[in-house]
């Protein structure tokens, strides 16, 4: 999977502060990394209870397929919610009767709980995209990965009013065996993508549309963003793509769990 440039991501300038605030806000929680190889780690032993009801473990393999079948497309939206861009994307999804999966950064969800609730109310699904969007987190300790995933899970769940994330997407695809197992033990299926639209780089709406049309045969899960900068091109590309994909006989679904 391609990684977005920027090292620890566009949140890099505030990571230290965000993590510090998160740790204080969540009672200065500390997780202990498991000894030995990550494949042998036991995430259940490090995962405290989170709000939102009972947790049913899911597969730790990275999902790409759609619940909707062969002609279905999964729209996934990363890095928000954002008070400017998320409402515009929600309006487009409502206009074309499309459901999507929103991969939310914990600090963004905490800052904009009203947006999280609107996403849920519209019938979309939530995905844990960590606390601070560190695209190099696969090089960090198990304890750090736990903090990023579990704190974000709680932040998103609280912001939503009790609806838990159903997926976990590592920033930039920085999955590890440990992080996948940990997320899966919390009922969050690791979520990949088949088409990176590169909208984060703002190549132009035409280029975003062309990327989707060229790479959609690779698989159904499309990656877009609703935060991290000016998302005008993303909105315009979705305005063109959603009706066009429907005209081509595609339906829209959620990733498998």
Instruction: For residue range 167-218, list pLDDT tens digits in order.
Output: 999 999 999 999 999 999 999 999 999 999 999 999 999 999 999 999 999 9
pLDDT band at 53 (very low <50, low <70, confident <90, very high): low
Query: Which range, of 36-40, 78-82, 123-127, 159-163, averages the lowest pLDDT?
Result: 36-40
Which of the following is catalytic: 124, 129, 225, 250? 225
Paired tokens of 230: 């000016």
Sign of CA dihedral 126, 130, 136, 137: negative
Kindly state whether residue 222 falls inside one of the protein's structural domains.
yes
Cα–Cα distance between 39 and 217 in angstroms, integer? Answer: 32
39 given a catalytic annotation? no
Name the maximum alpha-carbon separation found in the chain.
53
Kindly state whether residue 104 falls inside one of the protein's structural domains.
yes
Kindly state whether residue 119 falls inside one of the protein's structural domains.
yes
Kindly state whether residue 22 falls inside one of the protein's structural domains.
no
Cα–Cα distance between 48 and 233 in angstroms, integer? Answer: 40
**Under a CB-based contact definition with an 8 Å cutoff, are residues 135 and 9 in contact?**
yes
Residue closest to 192 by CA, chosen among 163, 217, 157, 218: 218
Kindly state whether residue 195 falls inside one of the protein's structural domains.
yes
**Under a CB-based contact definition with an 8 Å cutoff, are residues 192 and 62 in contact?**
yes
Beta strands in 58-187 (DSSP E): 72-78, 101-104, 125-128, 167-168
Kindly state whether residue 24 falls inside one of the protein's structural domains.
no
Which of the following is catalytic: 78, 142, 196, 226? 78
Cα–Cα distance between 235 and 225 in angstroms, integer? Answer: 9
In the 8-state DSSP scheme, what is residue 164? P
Single pTM value for the model: 0.83
> Is the pLDDT confidence value at 51 over 80?
no
Cα–Cα distance between 219 and 41 in angstroms, integer? Answer: 31
Domains of the chain: total:
1
Say which residue, 71 or 44, is predicted with more confidence: 71
Other Cβ atoms less than 10 A from the Cβ of 217: the count is 9
Query: Which range, of 11-25, 26-40, 75-89, 239-253, averages the lowest pLDDT?
Result: 26-40
Instruction: Return the CATH number at 89.
Output: 3.20.20.370
Beta bridge partners of 196: 223
Position 75 scores a pLDDT of 98
Residue closest to 23 by CA, chosen among 120, 123, 155: 155
Paired tokens of 139: 């090089």
Owning domain of residue 88: 72-252
Helix axes 142-160, 15-25, angle to 10 degrees: 70
Sign of CA dihedral 242, 191, 121, 106: negative
225 given a catalytic annotation? yes
Position 54 scores a pLDDT of 77
């Amino acid at each position: 999977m391609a990684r977005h440039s920027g090292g620890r991501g566009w949140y890099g300038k505030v990571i230290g502060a965000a993590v510090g605030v998160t740790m204080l806000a969540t009672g200065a929680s500390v997780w202990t990394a498991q000894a030995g190889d990550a494949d042998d780690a036991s995430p259940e032993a490090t995962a405290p209870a989170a709000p939102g009801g009972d947790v049913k473990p899911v597969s730790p393999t990275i999902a790409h397929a759609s619940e909707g079948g062969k002609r279905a497309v999964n729209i996934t939206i990363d890095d928000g919610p954002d008070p400017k861009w998320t409402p515009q994307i929600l309006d487009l999804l409502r206009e074309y009767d499309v459901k999507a999966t929103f991969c939310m950064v914990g600090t963004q969800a905490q800052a904009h709980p009203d947006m999280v609730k609107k996403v849920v109310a519209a019938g979309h699904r939530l995905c844990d995209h960590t606390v601070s969007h560190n695209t190099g987190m696969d090089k960090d300790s198990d304890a750090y990965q736990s903090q990023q995933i579990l704190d974000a899970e709680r932040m998103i769940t609280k912001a939503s009013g009790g609806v838990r994330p159903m997926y976990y997407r590592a920033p930039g695809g920085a999955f590890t065996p440990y992080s996948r197992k940990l997320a899966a033990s919390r009922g969050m299926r690791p979520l990949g993508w088949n088409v990176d639209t590169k909208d984060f780089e703002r190549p132009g709406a035409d280029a975003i549309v062309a990327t989707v049309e060229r790479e959609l045969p690779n698989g159904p899960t499309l990656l877009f963003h609703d935060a991290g900068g000016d998302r005008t091109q993303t909105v315009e590309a979705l305005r063109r793509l959603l009706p066009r994909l429907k005209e081509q006989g595609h339906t829209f679904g959620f990733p498998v769990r």
